[in-house]
Structures are given as C-alpha cells and as structure tokens.
Amino acid sequence: MTGVDHLDEALLTALRDGVAAPADESRGRAHLDACVECRDRLAALEQRRTTVAAGLASLDTSFDLESARAAVRAGAFPFRKRTHRAAWARAAGAVLFLGVATAAAALPRSPVRHWLSQIVHSRTTAVPAPDSQAAGPAAAAETTGVRLDVPSGPLHVVLGDVTAGTEINVRWVPGSEAAILAPLGSRFTSATGRLEARPAPGPVRVELPRGVVPTTLEVGGRVYLARTLEGLTVSGPVVRRDDDGVVFRTPDR
C-alpha cells in the first residue's frame, strides 16, 4: 500500500462517520468506487467503530439522575428557596383545594369524580400498541413502565428476577425510544443506554428502537437477544417470531 495512491486513515474515518469536508467526500467516494483495497479498509474501520463503541460502553455505569438534577438546580438557583411565608401560603392553598376537591368528588355524578377516575385510569392502563392483539393478555393487564430516549447505541435492556414462565414480548419500534412495560408492582431503573426492570409476575413487553445498534436484551443473567451491525442473534427461548419482534417465554424452573 502506498500513501500516495490510497486514501489515508483520517479521510477513511471521516468518510465512515459522514464528517468529511464536501471536497474530500467527493474525492474519497470517487476513489472508493474504483479501489477494492480502500473499500476493504473502510469495512474494517466500520468493524473497528463497533468494537471501540462496545469497549467504551463497558466502562459505563448507572447514575442517579434525579439527585443530580436536584443538586444542579440547587447550585444554579440558590436564591429561589421559598420563604416560610410563601410556603405556608402554598400549603394553605393546597389544603383548601384538596378539601374542595374531595367534597366535590364525593358527590354522585360529579365531574371532579369523573376527572379523577380518568387520571387514575390513564396512569395504570397499558400503553396501547399497534400490535396489542399480538401481545395477548399483556395488553389487557394493568401495566406500568419506563421509557428511555436512546438516539444511538449501545442499548442494554436487563430483566432480573423474572418469574418462570413469563412471556416477554419484544417489539421493534420506530424512533429512538426504548421501553419496558410490565405489570403493576414492577420496579424499574434507567441510565444512559441502559434500562433495567424487576418485573412483577405477568407478561412483559420490551420495545427496542429498530435503528439502534448494538442492542442487547438480558434476562436473568442470560443474553436472549443481541442486535449488531452484523445482524440479529436470538438465543433465548423463542415462542414465536415475526418481522416486528420476538416473543420469549422464560423456562419453568
């Protein structure tokens, strides 16, 4: 290989990442059209990017984002603490509002009662999904869940302490939002690129953004599914599989 004839590593890397200057992009693409060796090197750089991304992701851990949010807010706006007088006024207002609302809700056919029931219902009913029929009983059960925006991989979804015989319905979804939906009583945590749940007994639905790679689903310490640039590897106990996802059932112990 001579440096004069072939594209250098920096330009190939820039082409791979789509950040080459327009003139370099044109020159580079024209060269790639004619040069098998540089195309092979570009393919190797693609693979290298995946390996490097996975290596960096192995350094990651989870953080308590809500504590950080409170700390940053307190540090950024130290003079916005409420005065005692204002706090008392708010507390009195809240008590008054609750009193009126409770009285109104106690009345039959009260619009407040209807409004409250709608709020409670909306928080505990499964999020409707296009394939809710395919999800079977999971869609009808009362569920709760957690969602996470994942503009790029890696994404790790971890289900721990899963009851034997649990149906796990994995769906590929458009956009960049991953989610775990599970029966009420489930516990969830999330961090950058990571969603975890300890689901209560019952069906679980996992939504994975179709375009995010690498993505892994780990259930009880075992990888059920891994999706990389090279493709999809399914190694969990499959019940059924289609273009929109995979349904697993954890083995009976």
Binding site residues, other proteins, CB under 8 A: 1, 9-14, 17, 19, 41, 44-45, 48-49, 51-53, 55-56, 58-63, 65, 68-69, 71-73, 75-77, 80, 151-152, 160-161, 191-193, 198, 221
Q: Which residue has the tokens 């149906």?
A: 167
What does the block give as tokens for 75?
A: 């540090």
Pick the closer one to other proteins by CB: 62 or 235. 62
Distance CA 161, CA 244 (A): 26
What one-letter code names the amino acid at 41?
Answer: R
Pick the closer one to other proteins by CB: 18 or 128. 18
Distance CA 15, CA 141 (A): 49
Residues in the chain: 253
Least distance (Å) between residue 142 CB and other proteins: 25
Are 233 and 225 spatial neighbours (Cβ–Cβ below 8 Å)?
A: yes
Distance CA 109, CA 172 (A): 43
Are 200 and 186 spatial neighbours (Cβ–Cβ below 8 Å)?
A: yes
Distance CA 71, CA 64 (A): 11
What does the block give as tokens for 38?
A: 């540089």
Alpha helical stretches, state H, the chain = 9-17, 22-34, 36-57, 65-76, 84-106, 111-124, 132-135, 137-140
Angle, helices 9-17 vs 36-57, to 10°: value is 70
Least distance (Å) between residue 163 CB and other proteins: 14
Pick the closer one to other proteins by CB: 19 or 239. 19
Pick the closer one to other proteins by CB: 61 or 122. 61
Least distance (Å) between residue 47 CB and other proteins: 10
Pick the closer one to other proteins by CB: 29 or 48. 48
Least distance (Å) between residue 234 CB and other proteins: 19
Pick the closer one to other proteins by CB: 124 or 189. 189
Q: What is the 3-state secondary structure (H, E, C) of 28-61?
A: HHHHHHHCHHHHHHHHHHHHHHHHHHHHHHCCCC
Least distance (Å) between residue 123 CB and other proteins: 20
What does the block give as tokens for 180?
A: 């775990």
Least distance (Å) between residue 14 CB and other proteins: 5
Pick the closer one to other proteins by CB: 37 or 244. 37
Least distance (Å) between residue 216 CB and other proteins: 12
